[in-house]
Structure 1
């Protein structure tokens, strides 16, 4: 089962990593993109706690990058994660 919102978030972060000016930011974005890609196809989806940590990490990344295109892609990724989170049972 593919979780399309998480796959979209991964794609947005991949675009942000390409747009990032700083190599460290590029690496962090790429790693977060990979993590979301794995969650998109895992046997079970992430819980609210994991999604909250991802959202927090995306906020930190958005604050760290200087490139406007990268920030927009991170915002799009966060919106996709939040859209998926709305479908998760619990809290």
Structure 2
């Protein structure tokens, strides 16, 4: 059986990898921070709620707008993983 938090882990891995690839130190720090946050969400006993995921989605959209080409696409891919996981969260 696959863990439903695999989507969060996948997004974290994508963002960490992208953080290593960008040349802007501020964006690298932001991406690493998002990756760390996603790992904590994935490894926590309780998964994140809709509010936490919505804030993360907003922040990812914000950083994606600061990037071009493949880098923006990579953030978009991570964002889709977060959205896919969010569809499994009860409530709202």
Equivalence for 2:53: 51
- Name the structure 1 match of 2:70: 69
Instruction: Please list the CA deviations of residues 37-63 of structure 1 after superposition, one character each: whole Å capped at 9, or x if unmatched.
Output: 111110100000000000000000101
| 1:68-87 deviation line (CA, Å, top 9, x unaligned) | 22211101110000000000
Equivalent pair of 1:21/1:65 in contact (CA under 8 Å): no
Unaligned stretches of 5+ residues in structure 1 = none
Q: Which deviates the most, 11-20 or 77-86? A: 11-20
Alignment partner of 1:80 is 2:88: no
Work out the number of aligned pairs and report it: 90
Matched residue SS, 1:65: coil
Give unmatched runs, 5+ long, in structure 2: none
8 Å CA contact 1:13, 1:74 repeated in 2? yes
Moved over 4 A (4+): none
1:38 matched residue in structure 2: 40
The two structures, once aligned, show a CA RMSD in angstroms of: 1.3
Bigger mean CA offset, 10-19 vs 43-52: 10-19
Q: How many angstroms does 1:4 deviate by? A: 0.3
